[in-house]
Structures are given as structure tokens and as C-alpha cells.
Structure 1
Amino acid sequence: MRNYKLYALVSCLLAAGTAFSQTIKVDKKVANAMQKVEPAVIKAHIDYLADDKLLGRKPGTPGYQMAVDYVIDQFKKTGVAPAGENNTYLQTVRLRQAKTGADVTITAINGKGEQQVLAMGNDAVIYPNPVQQSVTIEAPLVFAGYGISAPDMGYDDYAGIDAKGKIVVVFRGAPEQFPNTIANYSMDLQNTLKNAAAHGAVGVIVAAPNERSRVPNLQNGVYSVMTPDGKVGASRSYVSDDIKLLANLSYNTLEKFFKESNLDLGKAQASIKAGKPASATLQASIKANYTSAYQDIESYNVVGKITGSDPKLKNEYVVHSAHLDHVGIGKPVNGDSIYNGAHDNASGVAGLLEIARIYNNIKVKPKRSVLLVMVTAEEMGLLGSAYFANHPTVPTQSMVANVNTDMPAIIAPLLSVVALGAQHSSLANQVAQASKYMGLTVEEDPEPEQNRFIRSDQYSFVVQGVPALHIKYGNKTADGKNNLDETVKKWREVYYHKPQDGPDGIFDYEAGKKYTQLNFLIGYLIANQPERPTWNKDDFFGTRAAQ
């Protein structure tokens, strides 16, 4: 089996070798435009977007519409052309909130034909279906480990089992030997569902990892994006008509199924963790009946364009993205119930607005065109970016790269960065060049346990085959302790997804300026290079993008 950790590192270094040995020269006019990024302007954008009057920018609310109107106004002021639908700045995103009806039942049937009705919310929970209002299903169970098929990693949970017409039971996770980003991708529920459907399964049940874990609370429903013709345009819990059931199951219930099948659940868990599939047919079936009710919400992605200067390459696009939404009004914390989302992600939106201002100060645009996309419903499961990546307002094959900006955590001087995802493609070149020019070092992810690679909008582009990256803070600190991740963890405990993330929180606007300049320069270099970005040879994500 290929050593992917070593391979990824070598590939990245080989791909970026020229960049590391060569200091780039930035045109004087471009460098001057970069210097016009103003911390005070970044602050003003954040102050407006995170103001209480926007009520947390939840999609479908007047507060979110105020944010949309603000971005459009800024685009017009900085010469950004409309690139949405019908020559507007908008792409309509029809969000469907689906909830499972009170009549839901799920029954376990053992090998002897004995039936047990499972307690909803305790033993099991069923996800609503965004297109089928009433579903009845009965099928045998098969245990499929993590639900992963990755022969190039020497691992396949479906090898040797027949899942056709069955409900597969899986754990969320990946073998220990999988590198971080590959593990993140492999345990993504959407990929688990797609793989199950590809093997003929009719349902997927995700088991709790241990006795202490509870099944999720789905009382607030599950969101999907619907196309104008009523089909699912993007979803984190639904992939095709073939999967009739998506549910969660308690650990104790699965353990009972294993015992009745003369199998040891603990040994199976240990085996798949060590990279040895332990898939098996279970002597049990599941019968489920449920209905789904819907509430539809209209929201928007905001899409602007800076047209490139090359007659041919201007028809290709470098996409800068940032999510405009936050979570709205929620549970009060210290008397405050407005979740302003100043860092998450008014700061990212402010960065893109300043990138627009840089381009407005450059007379000769880069060869390729640049899209500035403010997406909705990131907090609902990357839905706005998934919809745009699946149904872009430009030809799909014309998108050559994505540079995403999400909660850069501008709370301390920016001295080093992590380029999530860049190690998989030639984008490592531009990251290395731009970082060196900016006097920044590039590090490995200091918080791999946060799964940041699949938790933000760049991931929506990756799964559509577009090389993408997300610049986050590195660990370097001015005092030489190089422990910024510890500071960020403490900050996150107080501010992340809490009402305390307001414009009066902790900010380092000079770091915001540097972060904006870096993201601009990465995108500018990509837009000017003769060749479009490529995945590294035999890269895990590149091979899947080609499928």
C-alpha cells in the first residue's frame, strides 16, 4: 500500500519546488493596490454585517437580506459586475426545511422473527426525506464498517459483502492510517450515502460510536436546496431516490444485533480502526414508516465578476468564496440571544470586499476572470456553496480554482498560515509564492482534530473536482512560543457560535489586512498563470474528481 503521508508531502514539495526557490516579483501597480487595503475599512464592513439590526443574518430573514443588499452595494462601488442569474448579482437558493412527522415508527426484527419497536430519540432517529413525503421500507441489515471504499488506500468495507437491497449499518470514522484530509473526506456522510447507493443499498443507519453517545436531536429539521423543478439540488443528508432510509442508531441497540448474530461489536470496531474491514451480514431486519413535512425558504448567493484581460483565458474563473450567513437568534448566553457572527463570517466577507477594492485599483486585470461569491446557508451544511458548485452561474468546467475565506480568526498578528487542501494540487505553488512574498511561513494544520478541511465551503468545490484551498492561521507567535492554536482554542470557547461573537469582540485588523492581501495574491497568481491548476499525480482527491 502506498504511504500516503509521505507521498502527499513529497508531491507537495515537488509541485511547489519552483515556488520555494523563487521569489516572485509583483507588479508595482498591483503592489500599490494591495497596500490600499485598510484595516479601518475591514472594521467598518464587520461592524455593519455583525450589527444587532441584522439579527444574525439567518437565511430567509430581513437581516440576511440587509447583508445581501450591503454586498451588492459594495460590489457596485468597486466596479464588480453582476454574475448571478439573469444579469443580476443573485443566485436564488431555495432552502427546504424538512421535519419527520410524529407518526414515525422503526421496528427491529431479529433472526427468529421477533419484533421490537425502537424508541424514537433514544434507540433511534430517522432523518426526513426532502422529496418523498411518505416512506415505508423493510430490509435486512448488513454491517459495513465505516462505509468506505478506498482501494487506493488498501481499504474497502464493501469487499466481500452484498449490500444490494439491504440497509447498511456504519460508524462515522476512518482507519487510523488514513491521513487527516483523506479521513475527513472518507467519513463525510454525503460520501457514505453515495457509496452505499453505488453498492445497491436502500438505506443507511449510522451507529453511535459508544454507549455514552446519544442519537442526534433532529427536532429543528434538516435542510436541503431544491431546484426550480422540485428536485434536490444540494443536500448533506440526501443523495438519491435509491436511499429510502437514513437513520441513527444507539450503540446498545447495535450491540444487541451483533450478539444475536454471534458477532463481537468491540472486536469489529477495533478491526476497522486498525484498517481491517469487519463487514458482516446481521441476523436482523429493519422496518420503518415515516412522513416528512416541509417549509420552504428563499435565500440568495451573491455573485460578482471581475473580467479577465486575456481574450481566451477570461472565459476561465478563479472563485473567491465566503459565506454571508450566520445562525440568527438562538439560546441566550449572558442575556444576549443575537448570534452576530462577526468573525464567523463577517470577517471573511469583509476580506472579499477588500479584494474587490484591490482589483478596482488595478487598471490591467489578470488574464483569467475572478468570481467573488458570497454564499448562503453554510451554517446549514455548506448548502449555498454546494448549490453553486453543482449549479454555477458560469460553465462548470470554466471554474479552475477556489480560494475560500471562512473565519480567519484575526485575533493576533498573522505570522504563519495553514493552506487547507493546497497540498493536493498545484495550488501549493501559488500559496508558497504568495506567502514568501508576504513574509509568512506555511505550516501543517495545528488542529487536525477540528476537521476543518470538510467543514467549510472549499469542500463543496473539491467534491466537484475543482482544486480548492482555505487559508487559516498558523501557529507562529511573536514571542517565539508558537502556540497560537492554544490562544484560538480559548477564544473559541468564549466566542465561537455564541452571541459574544460581535463587533465589540477581540480583533486584530492589521492581521485582517495581511490575510486579505495574501488571499488576493494567491488568487491573482492563479489567474495569471498560463496553465490551469491541476491535481497532483495520483492524488486521492484528483482521482475521485476524474470519476
Structure 2
Amino acid sequence: MKGKFVRAARAAVVLALMVGCTPMDPTIIPVSGQLPLKYTGPSTGPAITAGDLMTRLYIFSDDSMLGRRAGDVGNLKGTAYIEREVRKIGLIPAGENGTYLQDVPLIRRLPAASLRFGGDSLILNTDFVVADPRAVIRRFSGLPVIYAGKVGQPGAELITAEQASGKIVVVTGFPRAVIPMLRSASAILYVDDANFGVMRRGGRGGVMIRPRVDTTTAAAPFVIPVATATKIFGVPFENVRPGTMGQVLTGSLSFTEIPLPGRNVVAVLPGSDPVVKGQYVVLGAHNDHIGIRAGGSLEHDSVRAYNKAVERIVIDRTGLVPSLPGRPGSAEQAQWLAGIKVNVDSLRALRPGRLDSVYNGADDDGSGSVGLLELAEYFASLPVKPKRSILFVWHTGEEAGLLGSRWFTDNPTVPLDSVVGAVNMDMVGRGAGSERGKSDRYVSLLGSRRISKEMGDIVDAINTKPQHKLEFDYQFDAPGHPERFYCRSDHWNYARMGVPVTFLSGGNHVDYHQLTDEAQYIDYPQFTRVILLAEDIVQTIANLDHRLVRDKPKPAPDTPCVQ
């Protein structure tokens, strides 16, 4: 027996020497084959590894977190987990009142609205929906309706601003961009069957910080289906032309406001250089997702099979990765997808059915959130810390409109002019690279040269190192890109304050905002590569002998984001 112990001890020493001489590949995961639905990993350590990221993400994106929707109990559960971890790691509180938390004053606005013409009344959430819960309270009586034309189509015929002034304007489509002609309207009715269906199912009103808007001139926005437009004009809507007058409408728009809990988690690793430790490099992600499916449970494997079928069809025909496959698309895409059939029997032969109603948000943005924790544990373990301080911020309410990052940058817990740069990570756990026919080392990069060319040069130089060499994709950073990704994540709120930013993402994938964004579908080796890249970027910027050079002047803080 004693000999066995001696041999075992010698083997352990040899293994330790081998490990010391040949560093383990940090991208290797501790599970072989298909990843499990549930997983409990070992305790995390200082090194950045796929195993650590897997341990953390299975916790943070578990069903018990209830989808982490901002303002709901699930988000409180998620932020409580982050707070416990940063406390254990030993970071310094950088929230409010000596805590790790910064309260964000969220509200839920529930609309109450009426529209009437003649003896008919239109019913909210049956005949029309409120397009924007941030809209202002308005009342209007006896206003004429005019059809303005199709918006969002270059060259389409539209009425003038003078024709729209003081009227209720009906347009076809629901554009993202502001249409100057509509600014003079008293109310806007967007005719869009697809968006009407989506908003009608939205259910619980909008989560927001109480809006600050012009209450005297802003138009009341509504979305209506074609059937309602036909009622208003009294003829089939397809026969209505720009300038056509409809009924005279009377209506109102108001809201009930319900206070909600919301909180950013903020922690700092103090720098080691007394001269520049008062400067900060921000590492950010968002701690929220979209909660529980309002329409109830769906069978998970069937949803996953359908989404993968959608993915194959759309990629084959367009070369693009689809997102939100359950939402209405173009008539052409509807024809492509009409023939999809899911063989439920074959799925049940593999495993029993599983009803699912939780939007887990493993990639969006569980990946960024636990990536920050992994980086925090790594940086905290260094015997010599970076020269500048590193500020870790887990923002709430990104999914509701970048709310937590807006609140933090308007109400910073450190002087914002002491922030030399910000790195934002959102959806870094999957990578659309292999799905686009590119490599499995794909990373979408945005914003890195928009404020500081030097920051972009640093990021590119770091990626030439042998341990990185990721495949950077800058296409979504292109000015005017229709996806507007540059404007859709938390880095924008730092950029609007003149802070140089870099946004790392894996881009779209078929499980975006689906019940199937779960920890078992994450690409942990690629996830680890992105976190290692982020570590090198932050370390380099924190140790520069100067602040990043800004090439553009600081914009006005309320400047609208321009892709």
C-alpha cells in the first residue's frame, strides 16, 4: 500500500513539472461531446480559462435567473450574483454609498390611449398600439387625417411638412430613422402589420428611466394594421395615395408609471502607479436580458430545430446570419420558411420534450458579464497591477434602451474625464464566424477608431501576436450600416461623452433573443480567445505612458447616435 502512495506521489510531481513546462491550452473545456443542459463546474481560479467561463455562465444564465429582465426580480438575482463574486475577488466598491451597486431609477410605463372617429372607437391593443412607451402625454380633438406615403423607401412620394402640420399623419412602414416631415404632425399612425403584431404581443409596457422630452410639440406615435387604416380612410388601404384625407380623429395618450428596481454593479481594481491610478480604463457589459416569454412556454428542441432550419435557408440564399427567426419578415422570406417542418418524433427519440419559457441570455449578454468576472479575477491576482485603475461596470437595462450605461455616464461614480478608454463586450460567446463561412476565430469590432485612431491601432497590433490572431470583421462599423450595431450597445453612451471606445462582439446568430440562447450552445474556446484579447487590450491601455489620443472633439452629450 505504501509503495502505491509513493508511486502516486511521484506521478503527481512529474505531472506538476510537465504542467509547469508546458502551459495548458486555456481554451480546452472540461466536458467532451455535446454540452449538457445543466453543469456544475469546479471553483474558478486566477487564470482565464474556458472551464472557468463555463462554470460561471451556467450559473448566470440558469433558469433560476428568470431571464434577468431589467426591473424584474430576475435581474436582482443576476446582479446579486455579480456583487457576491466581485466581493469574493476583492475588488473595491465603486457604486454608491460605499457599495458595489448604483441604483438606476427605472419605471414601467403602461399606456392608456383612445382613438375615435364619427361613432366608432378604436380599441388599444386590438386596432392600434402605442409605438413608443417614452412618448409624451397628448390630447387631440377633431384633427384631420392625411396619408403621407411610404417612409423608408428612397425616392418614394411623400407629402410636405406644411401638409402634415397639425394633422394626424398616416404613413406606410415603421422606420428607425427620424423623418423630418413627421416632426410637424400632431400624431403619427404607422401602418405596419408585422410590427403591429410584435408590439401587440409585447404586453407589459416599456421599462425606462423617466423620459425628458418636449411635451408640447412631440407627436403621439401609434402603429396600426392595414385593417385599421382601411377603416380610417373608408376605402381599401392599397388604393390610398399620398395627400388623401381620411376621417377626423379625436384621441388621447397617457401612461401609468410604476417604479421598478434597477442597478448597475460597479467595482474598481486600483492601479499601481500613484501618478496615473486616478485614471481609469472601463471594462463593461450588460447584466440584463429579456425575461420570461409573455406568450407562455414552447417546446425547446422544436424551437431549436426550427431556428437551425431557418438559419440554413437564409444563409444559403442571402449569405447572412438570420436573427429573430420567429418574427415576421418579408413576403419573400415567408415563402422560404413556409415549407419548414420539424420532425418531432425524431427529436423525442433522442430525449423527452422540454417546455421552456425563460430567455436565458447566455450569449446576450451573459457572455460579456461573466467575461468581466473572469477578467476581474485575473487582474486581481497579478502581483503587480496595471498602472491605471480598471473600472468594471455591469450595466442594467441595455435591452430596454441602454438605460444603465446612460445613467452611469450621466451620473458617474468616478470623474468621467478621468476615463481614458472603454472596452464593451456584448455577445462574445458564440461568434457568427463559422456560420458566415469564415473561421471560428471571428470577432466583430466596432468603434475602435471613431474617437481615437490610436486605440484602433493598438487593438490591431495586439491581434498580430501569435496567441491571438483573431479574424476581425469591421463591416458593421461602416458608417450608415443598416443594422446600426454601433448605436445599439452600451459603449455608445461613453462615446457620446468623448471617451474612446472599442466594442467586441460575435455578431448576430439564430438564437439571438430566443429561448435557445442557452449555455449549452456557447462556443467556449472562441469565448475564451475573445476574453484573452480583451485582457491584452485593457492591460496595454492601462500601462501606456500617456492617455489615448482623441482625434475628435468631445460631442454634445445629447447628440443622437449616427451609425
TM-score (norm 1): 0.66
CA contact (8 A) 2:451 2:498 kept: no
Say whether residues 1:92 and 2:125 are aligned partners.
no
1:452 aligns to 2:461 (yes or no) = no
SS at match of 1:76: helix
Distance 1:240 1:525 in 2: 47
1:443 to 470, 473, 478: 473
* 2:497 corresponds to 1:532: no
Distance in 2 between the 1:367 and 1:171 partners? 55
What one-letter code is carried by the residue in structure 2 that aligns with 1:517? L
Aligned twin of 2:128: 124
* Residue number among 298, 304, 317 corresponding to 1:333 in the alignment: 298
Deviation, structure 1 residue 83? 1.2
Q: 1:105 aligns with which of 110, 114, 124?
A: 114
1:385 corresponds to which residue?
A: 405
How many Å separate the matches in 2 of 1:100 and 1:213?
15
Correspondence for 1:151: none
Cα 1:172–1:121 change in 2 (3 A) is same
* Equivalent residue, structure 2, for 1:225: 208
- Contact map agreement 1:141 1:167 (CA 8 A) in 2: yes
Matches of 1:515 and 1:309 in 2, distance apart? 25
State the SS of the aligned residue for 2:200. coil
Amino acid paired to 2:535:
F
423, 428, 431: which one aligns with 1:408: 428
Instruction: Indicate the SS of the match to 1:378.
Output: coil
C-alpha contact (below 8 Å) 2:497/2:555 kept by paired residues: no
Q: Which structure 1 segments of 5+ residues have no match?
A: 1-30, 109-113, 149-156, 175-186, 269-279, 475-487
**Structure 2: any 5+ residue segments left out of the alignment?**
1-25, 27-44, 153-157, 300-354
Match of 2:57 among 41, 46, 53: 46
Q: What residue number does 1:247 align with?
A: 222
Which residue of structure 2 lines up, in the alignment, with residue 137 of structure 1? Answer: 140
Percentage identity across paired residues of the two chains: 28
* Pairwise CA RMSD: 4.7
Q: Deviations over 1:414-468 (max 9, x none)?
A: 4232202335332322321222222123223479665533333233434455443
Q: Which amino acid aligns with 1:497?
A: H
Residue pair 1:401, 1:533 contacting (<8 A) in 2 also: no
1:177 corresponding residue in structure 2: none
Deviates further, 36-45 or 413-422: 413-422
How big is each residue's C-alpha offset from its partner over 1:221-263, in whole Å with a ceiling of 9 and x where there is no partner? Answer: 333434xxxx537xxxx67664262222345766898999xx9
1:369 Cα deviation from its structure 2 partner: 3.0
Pair 55,409 (structure 1): closer, same or farther in 2 beyond 3 Å? same
Relative to structure 2, which stretch is displaced further, 450-459 or 74-83?
A: 450-459
* 8 Å Cα contact 1:93/1:225 also seen in 2: no
CA 540–99 in structure 1, closer or farther in 2 if over 3 Å, else same:
closer
Q: CA deviation at 1:537?
A: 8.9
- Is residue 55 from structure 1 mapped to residue 59 from structure 2 by the alignment? no
SS of structure 1 residue aligned to 2:398: coil
CA distance in 2, matches of 1:446, 1:244: 32
Query: How much does 1:401 deviate?
Result: 3.4
Q: Which one of 346, 365, 370 corresponds to residue 350 of structure 1?
A: 370
Aligned: 1:523 with 2:538: yes
1:61 deviation in Å?
A: 4.5
How far apart, CA to CA, are the structure 2 residues paired with 1:471 and 1:369? 21
> 1: CA distance between counterparts of 2:249 and 2:482?
34
Kept in 2: contact 1:100–1:127 (CA 8 A) = no
Q: Secondary structure at the match of 2:513?
A: coil
Is 1:497 the equivalent of 2:513? yes
Counterparts in 2 of 1:507 and 1:285: CA distance versus 1, 3 Å: same
Q: Do the aligned residues in 1 keep the contact of 2:497 with 2:557 (CA within 8 Å)?
A: no
Q: Distance in 1 between matches of 2:530 and 2:76?
A: 27
Instruction: Name the amino acid aligned to 1:295.
Output: I
Rounded to whole Å, the distance in 2 between the matches of 1:366 and 1:158 is 59
The answer as to whether partners of 1:202 and 1:243 remain within 8 angstroms in 2 is yes
Q: Against the structure 1 CA distance between its residues 443 and 61, is the aligned structure 2 distance closer, same or farther, given a 3 Å change threshold?
A: closer
Which residue, 264, 285, 291 being the options, matches 1:322?
285
Q: Deviations over 1:9-66 (max 9, x none)?
A: xxxxxxxxxxxxxxxxxxxxxx9xx992122111111121122333333344444333
- Rounded to whole Å, the distance in 1 between the matches of 2:417 and 2:91 is 22
Shift of 1:201: 5.8
> 2:160·2:181 contact (CA, 8 Å) conserved in 1?
no
Provide the rounded CA distance (Å) in 2 between the counterparts of 1:95 and 1:408. 27
Deviates most, 134-143 or 312-321:
134-143
Q: How far apart in 2 are the matches of 1:395 and 1:39?
A: 35
The residue that corresponds to 2:335 in the other structure is none
Cα separation, 2, equivalents of 1:167 and 1:390: 35
Query: Could you tell me whether the CA contact under 8 Å between 1:147 and 1:158 is conserved in 2?
Result: no
| 1:79 to partner: Cα distance | 3.0
Give, in whole Å, the separation in 1 of the partners of 2:443 and 2:490.
Answer: 18
Deviations 1:85-113 (A, max 9, x none): 11211111232122223xx32246xxxxx
Give how far 1:351 is off: 0.7
Map 1:269-280 → 2, pairs under 5 A: none
Show the counterpart of 2:256: 293
Take 1:215 and 1:382, find their aligned partners in 2: how far apart are those partners?
A: 21
Match of 1:468, as an amino acid? V
Q: 1:419 matched to which residue of 2?
A: 445
TM-score by length of 2: 0.64
From the superposition, tell whether residues 409 and 291 of structure 1 become closer, same or farther in structure 2 (CA, over 3 Å).
same
How far, CA to CA, are the matches of 2:244 and 2:500 in structure 1?
Answer: 38
Distance 1:159 1:36, change over 3 A: farther
Asked which structure has the greater RCO (Cα within 8 Å, sep 6+), the reply is: 1
> Is contact 1:224-1:232 (8 Å) kept?
no
Q: Which amino acid aligns with 1:124?
A: F
- Given that residues 57 and 370 in structure 2 are in contact (C-alpha distance below 8 angstroms), is that contact kept between their aligned partners in structure 1? yes
2:550 partner amino acid? T
**Contact 2:388 / 2:543 at 8 angstroms: preserved in 1?**
yes
Provide the secondary structure at the position in 1 that maps to 2:199. coil
Distance 2:67 2:82 in 1: 16
User: Which amino acid is 2:264 matched to?
Assistant: N
Distance in 1 (CA, whole Å) between partners of 2:274 and 2:150 is: 48
**2: CA distance between counterparts of 1:245 and 1:436?**
52
Report the alpha carbon displacement of residue 508 of structure 1 after superposing the two structures with TM. 3.0
C-alpha separation in 1, matches of 2:473 and 2:501: 17
Structure 1: which amino acid aligns with 2:271? G
**Inter-partner Cα distance in structure 1 for 2:383 and 2:159:** 56
Structure 1 461/248 Cα, relative in aligned 2: closer, same or farther at 3 Å? farther
**In the alignment, is residue 308 of structure 1 matched against residue 308 of structure 2?**
no
